[in-house]
A and B are shown apart, each in its own frame.
Chain A
Amino acid sequence: MNSQPVTLYPSRQFKDNARAALADTELRGSLRSAMDFLMAKRSSAFPDTDELDALRTLGEAIRQRCLSRLPELLEQLEERLTANGVTVHWAETPAQANAIIHGLVAARNGTLMVKGKSMVSEEIELNHHLEAHGIQALESDMGEYIVQMAGEKPTHIIMPAIHKTKAQIARLFHEKLPDTPYTEDVDALIRIGRNALREAYLQADVGLSGVNFAVAETGTLCLVENEGNGRMCTTVPDLHIAITGIEKVVEKLEDVVPLYSLLTRSAIGQPITTYFNMISGPRRPGEKDGPREVHLVLLDNGRSQAYADQQLRKTLQCIRCGACMNHCPVYSRIGGHAYGTTYPGPIGEIISPHLLGLENTRDLPTASSLCGACGEVCPVRIPIPEMLMRLREESQRPAGEAVDHPLRGQGAAASTTEALAWRAWRRVYASPGTYRLFGWSATRLRALTPPTQAGWTQNHVPMTPAPKTLHELVREREARRKES
């Protein structure tokens, strides 16, 4: 398999990445039609707006309740899982998580890992880490399998290969897989992937999966999928390792019912996925299949920073449906790669600063027109625009300023020029006298309007003040009325 080049913080090149993506007409076309399709599917999955509103409110309440008890629930989860025979590991950083997983694989001299879809494993760059130690980590979700083969990263958290056309995939399979004829027939392409991966499940020493919901009450790991690769990875190899962020814990088993419904309908407009797995432990005595060992790795990686702040904590309500991406006018034009982060789109803009620091995600909080389409569809009502504005504030806040919950990279986007510009703006707009003078001079000097205005004139004719301000026009009219 191709090893993907490791680029440190591609998120720093956001603007360049976005420009390149915008110029790629094939990508633009794929994205537009895919996002239109997914938006229409979601819409048809919620025919009853009362039910949708009530379900979103319920989903939000469940997630907020669970977050309010996060430390207790994590301990309860650990206790129940341990009682069920699952080993629980804790990792503060990607490096710790990688070391734990590598240790488990190395302990049984494993050489092949099959992976179900796990965005957290992307977050910690697990594949690179294992490959550096001679362990092959093979993605088994069809979309992930394709992007791994292409040496790329997922461009969408639900549809990893949504940026690729079937012709591109046909070419890829033909070139990379031995004895594979070129075919654009989707059934045939899926059969090719199926056959290759079935051999891998059989041979693999270890299966890795993500977790959609971890239930504290019963010690159950829930996994949502359509393909059956998640079941394969968590059933066939002798060792199953699950990895998840600490925020994924829910209190009660029944919590998963509304959350699961919100997830599948918001993500892809399906009433339900083909499979909903509830895994509560390794093979019990007498059982004839299933892994003999199950481990869960709980990863922090900056989530506790978001948790520390009551407003930003809402970020952790996310159930990773991707609806915010599908509805985002920015994401739907530049796609996921441009963000340079594991989580792209609106949710990526608000979670990545906690994972990577504002210094590495400087341009993400501003990469939104605050149109609100994301917040409008979020199944757990995360006020994404509000989070973006807060992150803008923190990235503009001088690095040295003391606050209750400083964010990593505070002040990363602060510049003296911008700070001075806003201070000047305040001086003008907060004082009626100055503002009147400003309006008068701007209109009288309109002929001197600069022909290029940073950013604006790239797409527009210059902003030119009118001959007179509204203030003036109103005064003049009042004067005329007094005369008559």
Chain B
Amino acid sequence: MSRPSDVYLFGTCLVDLFMPDAGMDAITLLETLGIRVHFPQAQSCCGQPAYTSGHPREARDVARSQLDLFPGDWPIVVPSGSCGGMLKHHWPTLFAGEPEQERVVAIAARVVEFSDFLLNHLDWQPVDTGPATRVAVHTSCSARREMNVHTTSWALVDRLANVTRVVHDHESECCGFGGTFSIKHPDIAGAMVTDKARALEDSGAIEFVTADAGCLMNINGKLALDKATPLRGKHLASFLLERTGGKS
């Protein structure tokens, strides 16, 4: 794949409001790799929360407001597997039969998940400058099953010379976020995130990383409530930037 000179960053609404540093770290990292990053200021959300809650009309209206933001023929990098899945796979369905269908399909084809972009579009060979550590990787279900990029985060972490990647119990299992699922079924979602948090703690990892903002907010929010553990997760972008000396 040819190396693009420019990309768009679709930051996602969760990153925007709750973890903007992860978004900035993604931008910084891409820029240090010589890529010009364009962040359309009119962006908001891919529409996924409404779409998965049974409100496609509202989702479509929000998605429609994003369609003019990517006029250049550059990749649209998304630092979140589930939002990437929404853009890439669900937007074409959401706009099936709508006047914008063709444009949407063209936009969807340009969407690349962040870790996929680093690994497969840039073939980035990071130079690890950090101390030795053990890291667990949680891959979001959308990244795993919709985007088929569950191995890209592993591969990037594995390219870091001083980092040992540890596997946690039931690694492929969902953390229980699922958007409004965690609000509508807090008992079940709670049992899921409890098990995920415990598996990560028991893995012996010093920290964990994920390339999905929803999962990160879910698992960190749970760990913070428990107080007993120092374990916290980082967005993959922040972790990679930190390991390669790009973060002050």
In the complex, A touching B (Cβ < 8 A): yes
* A contacts, CB < 8 Å to B: 15, 18-19, 22, 329-330, 333-334, 363, 365-373, 375-376, 389, 391-397, 413, 418-419, 422-423, 425-426, 428-432, 435-436, 439, 442-443, 454-456, 458-461, 463-466, 468-475, 477
Closest to B145 in A: A372
Residues of B within 8 A of A391 (CB): 54
A430 touches B62 (CB 8 A): yes
B15 touches A470 (CB 8 A): yes
Closest to B177 in A: A369
- How many angstroms from the CA of A391 to the CA of B11 in the assembled complex? 30
B58 touches A426 (CB 8 A): yes
A389 touches B193 (CB 8 A): no
Give the distance to chain B from A87, nearest Cβ to Cβ, in Å.
44
Within 8 A of A (CB), among B10-66: 11, 13, 15-21, 23-24, 27, 39, 41-45, 47, 49-56, 58, 61-62, 64-65
Closest 7 CB pairs of A and B: A369-B178, A460-B221, A392-B54, A371-B174, A455-B183, A470-B20, A372-B145
B183 touches A456 (CB 8 A): yes
- How many angstroms from the CA of A397 to the CA of B141 in the assembled complex? 27
Give the distance to chain B from A416, nearest Cβ to Cβ, in Å.
13
A370 touches B141 (CB 8 A): yes
- How many angstroms from the CA of A369 to the CA of B214 in the assembled complex? 12
B16 touches A375 (CB 8 A): no
Question: B52-89 vs A: 1/0 string, CB under 8 Å?
Answer: 11111010011011000000000000000000000000
A376 touches B145 (CB 8 A): yes
Closest to A423 in B: B58
B192 touches A369 (CB 8 A): yes
Q: Per a CB cutoff under 8 Å, which of A22, A423, A464, A470 touches B16?
A: A470
B50 touches A426 (CB 8 A): yes
A455 touches B182 (CB 8 A): yes
B180 at the binding interface (Cβ < 8 Å): yes
B3 at the binding interface (Cβ < 8 Å): no
A429 touches B62 (CB 8 A): yes
List 6 additional A-B contacts (Cβ < 8 Å) besides A422-B55, A469-B20.
A366-B181, A367-B188, A430-B61, A458-B190, A459-B194, A471-B16
- How many angstroms from the CA of A375 to the CA of B64 in the assembled complex? 28
Closest to B180 in A: A366
- How many angstroms from the CA of A419 to the CA of B54 in the assembled complex? 10
Q: Per a CB cutoff under 8 Å, which of A373, A389, A395, A432 touches B174?
A: A373
* B contacts, CB < 8 Å to A: 11, 13, 15-21, 23-24, 27, 39, 41-45, 47, 49-56, 58, 61-62, 64-65, 141-142, 144-146, 172-174, 176-195, 217-218, 221-222, 224-225
- How many angstroms from the CA of A372 to the CA of B225 in the assembled complex? 28
Residues of B within 8 A of A394 (CB): 54
Q: Per a CB cutoff under 8 Å, which of B55, B65, B145, B184 touches A431?
A: B65
Residues of A within 8 A of B61 (CB): 426, 430
- How many angstroms from the CA of A436 to the CA of B40 in the assembled complex? 12
Can you list 18 A-B pairs, Cβ within 8 angstroms, ordered by A?
Answer: A369-B176, A369-B192, A372-B142, A392-B53, A394-B54, A396-B55, A422-B55, A429-B13, A430-B64, A431-B65, A439-B17, A456-B183, A459-B194, A471-B43, A473-B23, A473-B24, A474-B39, A477-B24
Q: Per a CB cutoff under 8 Å, which of A436, A460, A466 touches B218?
A: A460
Q: Per a CB cutoff under 8 Å, which of B58, B178, B191, B194 touches A368?
A: B178
B191 touches A369 (CB 8 A): no
Residues of A within 8 A of B224 (CB): 460-461
Give the distance to chain A from B98, nearest Cβ to Cβ, in Å.
15
A329 touches B225 (CB 8 A): no
- How many angstroms from the CA of A423 to the CA of B45 in the assembled complex? 14
B192 touches A329 (CB 8 A): yes
Give the distance to chain B from A48, nearest Cβ to Cβ, in Å.
19
Closest to B39 in A: A474
- How many angstroms from the CA of A396 to the CA of B190 in the assembled complex? 24
Q: Which of A393, A460, A477 neighbours the largest number of chain B CB atoms within 10 Å of its CB?
A: A460
A432 touches B65 (CB 8 A): yes
